[in-house]
Amino acid sequence: MSALAVARLDLRRLAVRPFAWTLGGIALAMMAWQFLLGVSAFMHAQPTLPGAASGAGFTAAVVAPYFLNYIQLCLVIAPLVTMQALAGERGAQRLALLRAAGVSGRAIVCGKFIARLAFLWLLLIIVATLPLVLAHATHPDWGQFGAALIATALCVAALTAIGIACSAFAAQPALAATAALLIGEGLSLIDAGVRMTGGDTGWLGYLALHTHLAPALRGLVRSEDLVYFLLIIALALVLAVRRIAGERGRG
C-alpha cells in the first residue's frame, strides 16, 4: 500500500467523522466573521485613507491580515486534526494492521500527512475565495495575494507536519495535540519577542514565524523563507518516520 492509498483511506475516515465537519464549519464561520470585520474596518477607514477603496490597499489592509488570522487559527486546528493520525491509530491497533499488511513507516507517515494537509488546504481554498468574491470591486494586488497564499499554505503544511510528528511520539492523542499546540505557540512567542526587540536577533529570529511570514504577506517571496518551511516539514516527517520504523523494529 502506497502513501496515496493511506491518504485516501484517511480522507474517507475524515469525511465520515462529525468532528472534522464540525471543526471545519467552526473554522470557516470564524474566518468569514474575521473577513467581514476586516472589510468593515477598511471601508470605515476610507475617508482617512488616500485613494479609493481599491488597488493594493485592500490587499494589504484586509487580505494579508485575513490570511494571518487563518494561520493563527491553524495553530489550534492543526493539532486537533493531527492528534489522532498516529497516536489514535496506535491505540486502536490499526498501526499494527498497517504494518502487518506490509505498509512501510514512510508510507504511513506521508499518507497521514497528505490526508490531514488536504483537509486544511481545502479549508484554505474556501477561505481564499472570500476575497475573490470582491475582486471585481476591489481590484486586489494579485502578486501580494499570491505570495500571501503561498506562505499561508506552506505554514499550514509545517504546522501539520509538526502535529504528525507529535502524534508519532505521543502515547495518547491528547498529549499529541498538547505538544503540537505548545510548539506552535512557542514559535508564536518567539515571533512576539522578535517584534518587541524590533528586528532580527540571530538564530532566534530565524526560528520565528513572523520573520518568514511578514515578507510574503507584503508580497515578497524569499527563497530563505521557502527553505525555512520546507526544513520544518522535512525534519518533522523524518522524525515521525524514524519513530514509526523504530516501533516496527521493536514490535
- pLDDT tens for 17-42 read 899 899 999 999 999 999 999 888 88
pLDDT for 195:
60
Q: Give the span between the Cα atoms of 42 and 34, in whole angstroms.
A: 12
pLDDT for 74:
95
Range of the domain at 201: 3-250
pLDDT for 241:
93
Across the range 95-103, mean pLDDT stands at 79
Task: Give the residue, 148 or 55, on which the prediction is more confident.
Answer: 148
The pTM of the full predicted model, rounded to 2 decimals, is: 0.90
Which segment of 30-34, 101-105, 150-154, 217-221 scores lowest on mean pLDDT? 101-105
Q: Measuring CA to CA, how many Å separate 137 from each of 132, 134, 140, 177, 198? A: 10, 5, 9, 41, 36
| Range from 6-15, 57-66, 222-231 that averages highest in pLDDT | 222-231
Q: Which grid coordinates belong to 108? A: 504511513
- pLDDT tens for 116-141 read 999 999 999 999 999 998 888 878 88
Share of the chain above pLDDT 70, in %: 89
pLDDT for 200:
55
- C-alpha 241 chain-centroid distance: 20
Residue 1 DSSP one-character state: -
In this predicted structure, the answer to whether residue 178 has a pLDDT above a threshold of 80 is yes
Helical segments of 51-141, H only: 56-58, 64-82, 89-91, 94-100, 105-133, 135-138
Cβ-contact 68, 217 below 8 angstroms: yes
Across the range 233-246, mean pLDDT stands at 92
Task: Give the residue, 207 or 79, on which the prediction is more confident.
Answer: 79
Considering the chain, what is the average pLDDT of its residues? 86
Q: Which grid coordinates belong to 155? A: 505554514
pLDDT for 54:
46
In this predicted structure, the answer to whether residue 61 has a pLDDT above a threshold of 80 is yes
Total domain count for the chain? 1
Which segment of 106-110, 128-132, 168-172, 209-213 scores lowest on mean pLDDT? 209-213
In this predicted structure, the answer to whether residue 193 has a pLDDT above a threshold of 70 is no
